[in-house]
Amino acid sequence: MKRNYKWLTLLLLLVFAVSITGCGGTKPAAEGGKDDYVVKLGYYNCDHMIGAVVGEAAGIYEQMGLKVKLFGNGKVPQAMAAGQMDVGYIGTRGLMASRPKGAPIKVAANNHIGGSMYLVVANDIKSPQDLIGQPLGIGNEPEKSEDWPVYAKTLGIPVEGSNYKCIEFDSDQAAYLALKTGQIKGFTCCDPWASMAEYEGTGYIMATYMEMMTGDEKQMGSCCVYSMNENFKKEHPELARKMVQAHVEALKYVYTHPIKSARIFAEYYHVPEEVALRTIYKKCVAEGRTLTWKIDEGQMRFAMKVYQNEKLMDEVPAYEDVIDIEFYKSCNLEDFDKFIKEKVDPVFPVGMSYEDWKKKAKEIDA
């Protein structure tokens, strides 16, 4: 995912740790008693993190006997890296970059594969070449980002930022507002802001970043993961497993109850319900089954290969140092592929049109 990784400096981590002292750290459960610990779960303003809010609003955490406090749209990667949050939906690259710096977090389950990132441009941009020399929300050094080089190479335009008026925004929402008000001619983002541009008619998606690329090699990688604080996992092992299971139930809910999930998404992300629906359709049908809890070693290792070859990280850690596969297996999770084949494919097959999907979804969630 497109993110600014300057937060990985130790100074920023310490500053942030102080700023959220109210969150506290983990503490051991009382021996032989019920674990009433309140789990701190973070997510940020990207559609890939929908599982966090669905878990709360659909009552999944409560049904599983979990006490969870959500921290939305804040500095979740920093909090996780500083050891001040228990569980977080964060970018795979950010997690892996933080491990060599001592961050006490590992991948507990997957969350989203592929990029599902978008290059959104103004309506008066008729060809990729029209972007050259224009103000774009693609970051100050787009050639060092994960997604921009893929867009540029696919569209046949220069990768180097010197060919554009590059602007760094602190959020996708801010970039969208800049496009809407005519300050920029394009920007890269995750949803719901690409769907918002289409919904409001302020722009259109020129390119989609799905597969990662290094040289001539392209393959699906891991975009963002369900990360967990190692101290929380050690001190609250049963709660930790339940949290992963709740993550699974939340994603299953999104696939099987898209209308209800869209209403939740619209409320938490402050967008129209139609935009939320378009967003969920992209993730669950149009672009395949990109929301997933399944850890695919091939996808993870390819992502790490891209980080290494494209010099997107100072130091790429060992696979075993970022993926806690034994903990993942101990959670006894439902098989993702079997779930999709039995519960999703017969109802919402890949390739289904948006209108047919929405009609069927309304029949389920009348």
Largest CA distance in the chain: 66
What architecture (CATH level 2) is domain 117-209?
Answer: 3-Layer(aba) Sandwich (3.40)
| pTM (2 d.p.) | 0.87
Q: What is the 3-state secondary structure (H, E, C) of 309-364?
A: HCCCCCCCCCHHHCECHHHHHHCCCCCHHHHHHHHHCCCCCCCCCHHHHHHHHHHH
- CA-CA distances (angstroms) from residue 158 to 122, 143, 164, 186, 237? 19, 9, 9, 15, 49
Q: How many residues does the chain have?
A: 366
Q: Looking up tokens 């402050």, which residue turns up? A: 270
Predicted local confidence at residue 4, as pLDDT: 44
Category of 330 on φ-ψ map: left (φ > 0), alpha (ψ -120 to 50) or beta = alpha
- Note the Cα 316 to chain centre separation in Å: 20
Predicted local confidence at residue 250, as pLDDT: 98
Per-residue pLDDT of the chain (366 residues; tens, 9 = 90+): 444 433 333 333 333 333 333 333 444 444 445 778 999 999 987 888 899 999 999 999 999 999 999 998 667 878 887 878 999 999 899 899 999 999 999 999 999 998 789 999 999 999 999 999 999 999 999 998 889 999 999 999 999 999 999 999 988 999 999 999 999 999 999 999 999 999 999 999 999 998 898 888 989 888 899 999 999 999 999 999 999 999 999 999 999 999 999 999 999 999 999 999 999 999 999 999 999 999 999 999 999 999 999 999 999 999 999 999 999 999 999 999 999 999 999 999 999 999 999 999 999 997
Q: ∠ at Cα 167 (121, 146), nearest 5°?
A: 75
Predicted local confidence at residue 44, as pLDDT: 82
Predicted local confidence at residue 74, as pLDDT: 66
Domains 8-114+220-364 and 117-209 equal at CATH topology level: yes
What's the topology of domain 8-114+220-364? D-Maltodextrin-Binding Protein; domain 2 (3.40.190)
Q: How far is 15 from 5, CA to CA, in rounded Å?
A: 16
Boundaries of every domain in the chain: 8-114+220-364, 117-209
